[in-house]
Amino acid sequence: MSTPIALAFLAASVLFIIGIKLLSSPKSARAGNLVAAVGMLIALVATLPLMHVSAVNATLIVVGVLVGLIVGAVGAYRVKMTAMPQMVALFNGAGGGAAALVAAIEFAGHPGSTFFVSAMIFASVIGAVSFSGSIIAFAKLEGHLEKPLTYPGQQFANGGLVLAVVVLGVLLTSTLHSIPLFVVFIVLALLFGGLMVLPIGGADMPVVISLLNSFTGLAVAADGFAISNLALIVAGTIVGSSGTLLTLAMCKAMNRPVTNVLFGAFGQASTGAGGETASGGTVKPIQADEAALLLGLGQHIVIVPGYGLAVAQAQHQARQLADELAQRGVEVSFAIHPVAGRMPGHMNVLLAEANVPYEQLIEMEQINPQMPRVDVCLVIGANDVVNPAAHEDKSSPIYGMPIIEAEKARMVIVLKRSMGKGFAGIENRLFVRDNCRMLFGDARASLQELVTLVKAG
């Protein structure tokens, strides 16, 4: 590798790191994306001189780059913000599949040393698991397979698949260089990736996507070691480590270990309707005009967005309501729970699209001490992240999970279609509190009506 190419890879690596750092703040996230994209462009250009390019290969490379640019750009521009988690799952799956494909081609064409073969085997299995798992995650996020799919002996079956993959990997690394056996190895890895994600509820997909993202990073890094590409090593290591840390952070936010997410079949969505809960408590409905009056008379309003906000695509109406209240001298904040929505930062992305000022987005740890001084807490489509059972009921599956303490506000107004339960499948004790009122209906329509009523004074 010549000095200019080595320096180009070094520059790309530095830009990757700076890009990740800038993504840590909403204010600098856009710049972080651009910086990382420039780093990837440099890495791509620096890789070309290292390739043995024939006329046919050059044509394929140009076609591949153009197709990738077009698909990526069109997909990013056309996808709705509510479907951003699905796009992330697809892009992550594409990365894992590409890593596995590179490893497979290298394994088939170059027997190499034990280290080389080990790296290729590792990249193949991890990339294949990430690819098939991400496809299932996409289907769950689309609502096709949202409920956990379980069957008797499922964990034993998955364990048998893992054992078979490990045994084949050891054989391929140590004694055999069999292409047919390698194909079986890849098929089993793909099967395991899909079966691993099937039992997981759709609401746990933020954790799954983050974990699969770290898998893709590890596969890319392994490819980089095998083909001596510094950019792949650095980029893959960054993605792998950051994805792992994010996965652990989200599990901590839910007070659940990763093993519970992956093997607990936790997350069955259920629906219901009516005014009386199984525990005997009664919810108290409120009309839009009454809710608008309470909001207009308040001095400090906190809005808690949840997945229902995304489903209703009501982020613009939420911002309009916040603006109308602010014009009347009301202090408005948005309380953000780290696992609200269907991907990390889902609520931040939706509210950013609606041009909600970053200063109004307050994290859970900062907003909770303010809750006793909040006049009205407006909960839009959130459920388990505001359920007091998390710190009141030791038998609850969400006990110990940090929540936004909406129940401490002077008044709580919850916007929901029905009395449907959240991903934990349990009743929300908040809904039957004396200071809680339910405004039933589509969140978008309800918010638009509140905006109109607040405008009318």
User: What does the pLDDT look like over 373-400, one tens digit per residue?
Assistant: 999 999 998 888 888 888 887 777 777 7
pLDDT given at position 419: 63
pLDDT band at 457 (very low <50, low <70, confident <90, very high): confident
Does residue 247 sit within a domain?
yes
Check if the beta carbon of residue 120 is closer than 8 Å to that of residue 103.
Answer: yes
Average pLDDT over residues 260-282: 52
Does residue 68 sit within a domain?
no
Q: Which of 247, 263, 279 is the last residue of a domain?
A: 263
**215-254 residue pLDDT tens:** 999 999 998 887 778 888 888 888 888 888 888 877 777 6
Does residue 83 sit within a domain?
yes
Half-sphere exposure of 246 (CA within 13 A, CB side): 24
Helix (H) or strand (E) holding 10: helix 3-22
Residues 431 and 383 in one domain: yes
In the numeric block, which tokens belong to residue 92? 């992550």
- Within 8 A by CB and 6+ apart from 131, the residues are 93, 94, 96, 97, 100, 190, 193
pLDDT given at position 150: 74
Does residue 421 sit within a domain?
yes
pLDDT band at 280 (very low <50, low <70, confident <90, very high): low
Whether the predicted pLDDT of 344 surpasses 80: no
Q: Which of 263, 298, 319 is the last residue of a domain?
A: 263
Residues 246 and 351 in one domain: no
Average pLDDT over residues 85-96: 87
Average pLDDT over residues 87-91: 86
pLDDT band at 126 (very low <50, low <70, confident <90, very high): very high
263: amino acid identity, one letter: F
**Known catalytic residue at 289:** no
Q: 392 exposed, middle or buried (CB, 10 Å; 0-12, 13-18, 19+)?
A: exposed
The winner for highest mean pLDDT among 42-56, 144-158, 180-194 is 180-194
Q: Taking Cα atoms as reference points, which of 185, 75, 79, 180 lies closest to residue 126?
A: 185
Average pLDDT over residues 307-326: 89
Q: Is 132 helix (H, G, I), strand (E, B) or coil?
A: helix
384 to each of 5, 6, 334, 398, how far by Cα in Å?
51, 50, 17, 8
Residues 253 and 295 in one domain: no
Whether the predicted pLDDT of 276 surpasses 50: no
pLDDT given at position 207: 80
CATH number for the domain spanning 317: value is 3.40.50.1220
pLDDT given at position 270: 40
How much of the chain, in percent, has pLDDT values that exceed 90? Answer: 28
Residues 102 and 225 in one domain: yes
Instruction: Tell me the average pLDDT of the chain.
Output: 83
pLDDT given at position 146: 63
Check if the beta carbon of residue 322 is closer than 8 Å to that of residue 356.
Answer: yes
Which residues lie across from 285 on neighbouring strands? 438
82 to each of 142, 333, 383, 432, how far by Cα in Å?
10, 21, 18, 30
Does residue 50 sit within a domain?
no
Q: Choosing from 223, 289, 375, 384, which is the catalytic residue?
A: 384
pLDDT given at position 264: 57
Q: Taking Cα atoms as reference points, which of 91, 95, 98, 101 lies closest to residue 71?
A: 91
Check if the beta carbon of residue 202 is closer than 8 Å to that of residue 140.
Answer: yes
409 to each of 262, 302, 303, 318, 413, how far by Cα in Å?
35, 9, 11, 19, 10
Residues 111 and 153 in one domain: yes
Check if the beta carbon of residue 210 is closer than 8 Å to that of residue 341.
Answer: no
Check if the beta carbon of residue 209 is closer than 8 Å to that of residue 92.
Answer: yes
- What whole-number distance in Å separates Cα of residue 47 and Cα of residue 44? 5
Residues 114 and 205 in one domain: yes
Check if the beta carbon of residue 123 is closer than 8 Å to that of residue 97.
Answer: no
Whether the predicted pLDDT of 370 surpasses 80: yes
Which residues lie across from 338 on neighbouring strands? none
Residues 174 and 311 in one domain: no
pLDDT band at 275 (very low <50, low <70, confident <90, very high): very low
pLDDT band at 255 (very low <50, low <70, confident <90, very high): low
197: amino acid identity, one letter: V
Average pLDDT over residues 288-317: 89
Residues 375 and 253 in one domain: no
Does residue 14 sit within a domain?
no
Does residue 292 sit within a domain?
yes
Residues 83 and 175 in one domain: yes
Phi, psi of 136 (to 5 degrees): -65, -40
Residues 394 and 429 in one domain: yes
Q: Is 401 helix (H, G, I), strand (E, B) or coil?
A: coil
**8-64 residue pLDDT tens:** 988 998 998 899 888 877 778 889 989 999 998 898 888 888 777 677 777 888 888
Residues 330 and 439 in one domain: yes
Does residue 324 sit within a domain?
yes
Q: Which of 263, 280, 299 is the last residue of a domain?
A: 263
pLDDT given at position 203: 61
pLDDT given at position 1: 67
User: Helices (DSSP H) in 110-153: which residue ranges?
Assistant: 114-141
Residues 108 and 222 in one domain: yes
Q: Is 286 helix (H, G, I), strand (E, B) or coil?
A: coil
* 400-411 residues labelled b (16+ CB within 10 A) or e (exposed): ebbbbbbbbbeb
* Higher pLDDT among residues 280 and 312, named by residue: 312
Whether the predicted pLDDT of 273 surpasses 80: no
pLDDT given at position 272: 39
Phi-psi region of 143 (alpha: psi -120 to 50; beta: other; left: phi over 0): left
pLDDT given at position 325: 92
pLDDT given at position 269: 41
pLDDT given at position 267: 46
Whether the predicted pLDDT of 422 surpasses 70: no
Question: What is the four-CA torsion angle of 243, 247, 250, 252, rounded to 10 degrees?
Answer: -130
Domain membership of residue 223 as a residue range: 79-263
Q: What is the domain count for the chain?
A: 2
168: amino acid identity, one letter: L
